[in-house]
Amino acid sequence: MEDKLKYLSPEWRDEAYRRLSAELDPEKMNYATTSLVSVYHNCPDGKERYFFVSCVDGAIGDVSVGEGEPPEAEFSISGDYDVFAKMSRGELGAQAALMSGKLKLKGNMVKALKLSSLADRLNRVIATIPTQF
């Protein structure tokens, strides 16, 4: 059995980057250039955390995690840690979480809806990481 990586840890980030880069080529990412930061409220340790991903012409660029102020991004999604954990386990889709009000989006809503399938692709890959939540 694989060891589980702590969610949003540097080791988890490294594995997320490795898997996203290996499994999502530019064609699967519709050659999109965008960036997204997920801001996690109510983390188990009481801190606020973020998960940032950027794509340039469909290639995964930067993937980072951290505490406090997140990097600037084209889109910002914020919500409770538990909602993001469900998405990362593949139990909840990004669009369903947004439409039900469990997540809040800042950015161009029309473009976000066009890119929602890409967010789900990212989440499907992330769901394959053995993770300790």
Domain ranges of the chain: 5-119
Residue-wise pLDDT tens digits, 55-107: 999 999 999 999 999 999 999 999 999 999 998 888 988 888 988 999 999 99
Q: Residues 72-81, buried b or exposed e (16+ Cβ, 10 A)?
A: ebbbbbbbeb
Is the distance from CB of 58 to CB of 81 less than 8 angstroms?
no
Model's pTM, two decimal places? 0.91
- Confidence at residue 1, expressed as pLDDT on a 0 to 100 scale: 52
- Confidence at residue 115, expressed as pLDDT on a 0 to 100 scale: 85
Is the distance from CB of 115 to CB of 31 less than 8 angstroms?
no
pLDDT exceeding 70 applies to what percent of the chain? 98
The CATH number fitting domain 5-119, selected from 3.40.640.10, 2.40.110.20, 3.30.1490.100, 3.30.1050.10: 3.30.1050.10
- Report residue 131's pLDDT band, with 50, 70 and 90 as the boundaries: very high
